[in-house]
Amino acid sequence: MNPKENYLHEFFRIFFANKQLVKRVFLVFAVIAVVLPLLLKQSFDITAQVIVQSKKISQGDATSTLNQENASFIPPSLADMETESNILHSPALIRQTISELREKGEYTLPVSAFNNLLVQPFKRFVTNPVREHVINPVRSLLGLQTDPVRDTVLDALTQQASSALKVETLPGSNVISIVYSFPDPAQGTRFVAALLQNYLVIRQEMQSIDLPQSFYETKKLQYQVRLDGLEANRLALLESIGSSDPKEEITFRLNAINTEEQALNLYQDRLLQSQRWLDYLKTSLATANNARFTDYTFPYTFTTTVDSVALEDREIKQLGEQLTTLVSRYMDDLAVFQPGSEPMQMTREQIIRARGQFLKIVSNRIQERTSDLATISSVIDQKTARIAEFKNRIHQLQETRSKLRQMDTEINALHKAFGTYAQRFAESSTARALDNDLSNARVLSPPFEPTEAAFPKPMLIIPFGLFTGLLLAIALVYVREFFDHRFKHPAQITHELGLPVLLVINDQSTLPNNPHKNWSVPALLHWVRN
């Protein structure tokens, strides 16, 4: 069997032939793996979580007329969660948080980190006095805008915090995870806590339409003054027309008009009927005055129908019946007696007397009906004038009611707005009492001070460093073997040159044993050299 085909044997041959190089490379990486955790700066990961319960959509602003449906809450979408993450990671929020902590003396970087931060902005620190005392005065004289002198330390701290802050939304949830890497765990915990607090405050201000207490007090006073003015105008309008409830009075007036119109129709019908009766009576009376005394009766019954009840004139009826009786008896006696006889003359005188009396009474009745007709006409005129007065009053009340409806609409709107502002004022006061804890975002997991550094981790660096050193040493040995074309065993001579091997002389020299004590530094150095 060709020795080259035994890969395991070839591997061990190369490995042990170059064991000194393998040991040295491995030991170098072992030393680096052990020392590296001691040289690297420690970094602690401060974690926190924020849950966004819903998204608030404002449907108005604080200066408009408010109602209780001005805002609605809907579940947040992926775009909303991305927006919330961007707010948490915004440089303005980070800068504000660092500035507040610096003012309190609670945010200072270690010396090494601070020096690293100052390397890049060193030129800007140097040029700040030049800009402030030379460039800006010249630009001011030329009417140009001056360059502001920035706090470059704050800018550098903001940039460092922004790069060390990791904000991301947990997949498939409405929870935002915050991870901040910082050398000082206590200071980093304070920074994350202040960042979350500022985030909730800014988010509440962005989504809230609340205004300061002075605004509500001013609006309350304005609405009270406006409401008092409208109520005074309403009372003055009611007093001017002498009515406390125009709607009720309009209903009463309409009922009165209906009643008066029904009575007016009856009087108009009665007037027409009486007029016809009077004309008929006058015509009949004129005919009766020219008639003979032997005619039987006056051609009229003098019966009046009131509410479907027939009323007769008894006096005229009696006189009519008496006159009819006398005429009938006269006609009967005329067949027996002579017209000039004494009985006939007496009867004729009675007829003339009764007829004159009857006609006199009829004339009186005509006068009565004429007077009654005038009375009916005056009643009709009175009712017509009354109906016209009622209509004028109703028109006046309707105009007033229209104005009152406008006032009532405005008063109701003011009442509603005033009630809403009062409610909003109470809610705002309650919110201030509860430290403005009315946001729909909550801190799910507050930051806590870690006890173990997130980086470096010796238990990971050392094993991986040793394993990497071993692999690199083996790789270097194989690279060295690849470029080394010397013969290493007899089979290579036969394979490469085609010549037979007659004799192989092995090197019988052995390496001396390690004369030093086991597990000592000299023993280790001897092992590395040999």
Tens-digit pLDDT profile for residues 415-445: 887 777 777 666 665 555 444 444 677 888 8
**Could you identify the residue written with the tokens 């404002």?**
58
Question: Would you say residue 151 has pLDDT above 70?
Answer: no
Main-chain phi, psi angles of 311, to 5 degrees: -115, 125
Give the pLDDT band (50/70/90) at residue 102: confident
Q: Strands of 441-445's sheet, edge to edge?
A: 165-169, 175-182, 44-52, 441-445
Distances 212 to 205, 216, 223, 285, 407 between C-alpha atoms, Å: 11, 7, 17, 98, 31
Question: Would you say residue 131 has pLDDT above 70?
Answer: no
Antiparallel, parallel or unpaired: β 71-74 and 55-58:
antiparallel
Antiparallel, parallel or unpaired: β 175-182 and 44-52:
antiparallel
Cβ atoms of 469 and 30 closer than 8 Å: yes
Give the pLDDT band (50/70/90) at residue 358: confident
Between CA 374 and CA 334 the distance in angstroms is 46
Q: Indicate the domain borders of the chain.
A: 1-38+461-530, 41-208+438-455, 241-431
| Polymer length in residues for the chain | 530
The CA-based dihedral angle spanning residues 489, 495, 499, 500, taken in that order and rounded to the nearest 10 degrees: 60
Helices and strands per DSSP (H, E), number in the chain: 16, 8
Higher local confidence (pLDDT), 11 or 297: 11
Mean pLDDT over residues 484-493, rounded? 73
Between CA 126 and CA 121 the distance in angstroms is 9
Residue type, 32: I
The first and second tokens of residue 411, run together, are 């008063």
DSSP string, 248-289: HHHHHHHHHHHHHHHHHHHHHHHHHHHHHHHHHHHHHHHHHH
- Percentage of residues in the chain with pLDDT exceeding 70? 72
DSSP string, 189-248: HHHHHHHHHHHHHHHHHHH-----HHHHHHHHHHHHHHHHHHHHHHHHHHHHHT-S-HHH
Between CA 333 and CA 327 the distance in angstroms is 10
Main-chain phi, psi angles of 208, to 5 degrees: -100, 150
H or E segment to which residue 157 belongs: helix 152-164
Supply the DSSP symbol for 134.
Answer: I
For position 62, what pLDDT does the model report?
A: 44
**Could you identify the residue written with the tokens 């946001």?**
439
- Farthest CA pair distance, the chain: 215
Mean pLDDT over residues 265-273, rounded? 88
Q: For the ranges 40-44, 124-128, 214-218, which has the lowest average pLDDT?
A: 124-128
Which of the following CATH numbers is that of domain 241-431: 3.30.70, 1.10.287, 2.60.120, 1.20.1070?
1.10.287
Higher local confidence (pLDDT), 77 or 205: 77
Cβ atoms of 365 and 316 closer than 8 Å: yes
Average pLDDT over the chain, rounded to an integer? 76
Mean pLDDT over residues 7-11, rounded? 73
Q: For the ranges 38-42, 82-86, 276-280, 452-456, which has the lowest average pLDDT?
A: 452-456
Between CA 174 and CA 293 the distance in angstroms is 122
Main-chain phi, psi angles of 35, to 5 degrees: -80, -30
Residue type, 429: S
